[in-house]
Structure 1
């Protein structure tokens, strides 16, 4: 894994920022002495001091940004403009990485007055090191800087570089996808309860079943249809259940959910 050279500043010390920093430290991508967190809220500052005492924490990021080679912007989309304006003139040619959903490269380039910007779409499983992220680079981002982005986000899961036009589809699939899976797990557990299982056992079985199935798919490299066919014996229980899923349009519903979320992402981006 690539090691980051130079100083890295995190703007926004919330859950996703914490996950990313813990990931890069654990993977040896950077060290605590190379990091500064800019977080205005005292309570959030205290978390960093308690959990990662070797990381510098400040409420005023001007000096930190000017000394940094990389700035990771981990704030909500409606705060990006304020953040960029607060440190106007400080961005120069340093690499600016934004995880603000829906804020386009063009918008980032204008706000930060820089072409050295990267837009990333991570998802919430990054919080447990199992994320799926994709990123698109601005005009002036070098191959070395793109590799730096890949190193940061591969520390909390898998990451791919894509054309920006694909990021809305990434949002519709992996960005929103965890919510779809949570609904499936909840529904599986409800089915177990309806069939007579105690709620805690039903939830445990449903969660582990989804986790195990995903791991089996990932580790074998088999097509999901092949793995499905291996479970569905002729005239058995699984094929009976699969028939009901087909009758009720599960496959179509999942496809339409991804398409709807993609279109909504496009609409939000155009309004931004």
Structure 2
């Protein structure tokens, strides 16, 4: 028998999850609550014969309710709408940044809460998701949560909920750091005389190929970096410039700290 799942929020991350779930659509029935769905989200839902914004939920029973809304919306929407979707047997799977399981359980009257942080590469099955489940979650519901997260890519279980803010900062926000690096590389190439389109293609394909090399070889980035860095060569000169005075290492550390700080603010 198919599991009945509700997704509340079909924005960037909710939409990414929908794209991943479309590959396993025969495993469950999905109801999506999103007042302003994009054309792509609407097409995905229609193609899978899922339900978008039903007029009536009388008698509805959901095995899992997935929270894909912004944390700022949770308190009003949770009390007005989401609470009515949750029973004491329902698994609540939250992908909201910063919002702790205790707060979610309090607002929704939920017994079983799993908190997860996927990232946007999940829309092509290349993402990474870390999750933590409250002690009240039984193994079968934890397995259901993992089955919903796995189509998005690699899944990691955390030892403590306290680790979730760091996960949000490293992998949840991490794709933006990589995209920014590609953007900066392309801009630097253009500044040195390359045609803009060529500079962008060179930068983007370098990032794509480097990530694929890490994945395929299984080598850590430090070893791969050393392998391409000849003593006193051009790459050594470039990496020396990037790391001088702390450089990129310090900047990334500050970026992660800033994201952690904001994640904690959103959870209040």
Structure 1 counterpart of 2:259: 261
TM-score by length of 2: 0.88
What is the distance in 1 between the residues matched to 2:27 and 2:226? Answer: 49
What is the distance in 2 between the residues matched to 1:113 and 1:186? Answer: 45
Structure 1 counterpart of 2:26: 31
What is the distance in 1 between the residues matched to 2:6 and 2:241? Answer: 51
2:2–2:27 CA contact under 8 A, matched in 1? no
1:91 aligned to which of 86, 99, 104: 86
Structure 2 counterpart of 1:74: 68
Structure 1 counterpart of 2:207: 210
Structure 2 counterpart of 1:179: 176
2:119 aligned to which of 123, 141, 156: 123
Deviation beyond 6 Å, 4+ runs, structure 1:
42-46
Q: Is residue 196 of structure 1 aligned with residue 190 of structure 2? A: no
What is the distance in 1 between the residues matched to 2:200 and 2:164? Answer: 33
2:79–2:107 CA contact under 8 A, matched in 1? yes
Deviations, residues 194-239 of structure 1 (Å, cap 9, x unaligned): 2221111111111111111111112211121211111112332111
What is the distance in 1 between the residues matched to 2:236 and 2:12? Answer: 41
Structure 2: 5+ residue stretches without partners: none
CA 1:153–1:90 in structure 2 vs 1: closer, same or farther (change >3 Å)? closer
TM-score by length of 1: 0.87
2:234 aligned to which of 237, 241, 245: 237
Q: Is residue 170 of structure 1 aligned with residue 200 of structure 2? A: no
CA 1:233–1:44 in structure 2 vs 1: closer, same or farther (change >3 Å)? closer
What is the distance in 2 between the residues matched to 1:55 and 1:95? Answer: 20
Structure 1 counterpart of 2:249: 251
Deviations, residues 44-69 of structure 1 (Å, cap 9, x unaligned): 699247742511223446337x3221
